[in-house]
Amino acid sequence: MRVLFLVALLGGAIFYAYIAFMDLNFMTRTGRLGPGFFPRVIGVSGIVITLLAIFEELRNKQLQEGSAEQWREFGFLVALALCYAVLLRLFGGYVATALFLVVTLAHLNRGRLMQNLLIAVLVPVGIYFLFDKVLNASMPPALFALPI
Partner 1 sequence: MDIFSDLVMGLSVAITPINMLYLLIGALVGMVVGVIPGFGPSAGLAILLPVTFGMDPIGAIMMLAAIYYGAMYGGTITSILLNTPGESATVASTFDGFPLAKNGRAGPALVMQAAASFVGGTVGVILITILAPLFSQVSRSFGPPEYFLLAVMGMLTLIMMIGTNWKLGVISALIGFALGTVGVDLETGQGRYTFGSAELIGGIYFIPIAIGLFGLGELFFAFYCGLHKTGTGSIVQYDKEERFWPTAQDWISTKFTMVRGSILGFVVGVIPGAGATIASLMAYSMERSLSPTPEKFGKGEMAGLVAPETANNAASSGAMIPLLTLGIPGSASTAVLLAAFLLWGLRPGPLFMQQNPELAWGLIASMYLGNMALLAINIFAIPLFVQLIKVPYRVLGPIVVVICAMGTFSVHASFVETYLMFAAGIVGFFMRLYGFSPAALVLALVLGPLAEEALRQTLTISRGSFMIFVERTPSLWIIAVTIALVVLLPLLGRMGSRAKKVEQAGG
Partner 2 sequence: MTITFKKGQSYLLGTLLAAVVASPFAFATEASSQEYPSSSETLDWTIAFGPGGGNDIMARTIIDILGKYDLYPGEIKAENRAGGSGAVGWGYLFNQSGSGYGISTTSGSFVTTPLQADTPWQPEDFTPVALLATDDLVLVVNGSSEIQNIDQFIANAKENPITIGGTGTVNVDFIVPTLFAQKAGFEFDYVSFNSMSEQTTALLSQALDAMVGNPGEILGLIESGDLRPLVFSGQNVPAALEGVPTMGEVGHDIGVSMPRGLILAPDAPAEARDWWIETMKKVVETPEWAFYIESNTLTPTVIYGEDFRTFLGNTKNGFREVLKQVGAIK
Q: Which is nearer to partner 2, 81 or 145 (CB)?
A: 145
Number of H helices, E strands in the chain: 4, 0
- State which of residues 30, 60, 62, 64 lies at the interface with partner 2 (CB under 8 A): 30
- Per CB under 8 A, the segment of 61-69, 103-111, 112-120, 130-138 that binds partner 2 is 130-138
From the CB of 147, what's the least distance to partner 1, in Å? 23
90 binds partner 2 (CB under 8 A): no
Residue 47's identity, in one-letter code, is: I
| CA–CA distances in Å: residue 13 to residues 37, 49, 53, 56, 84 | 15, 10, 13, 18, 29
**Distance of closest approach, residue 57 Cβ to partner 1, in angstroms:** 9
Q: Is residue 8 close enough to count as binding partner 2 by CB under 8 A? A: no
Q: How many CB atoms lie within 10 A of CB 31?
A: 7
Element (H, E) at 130: none
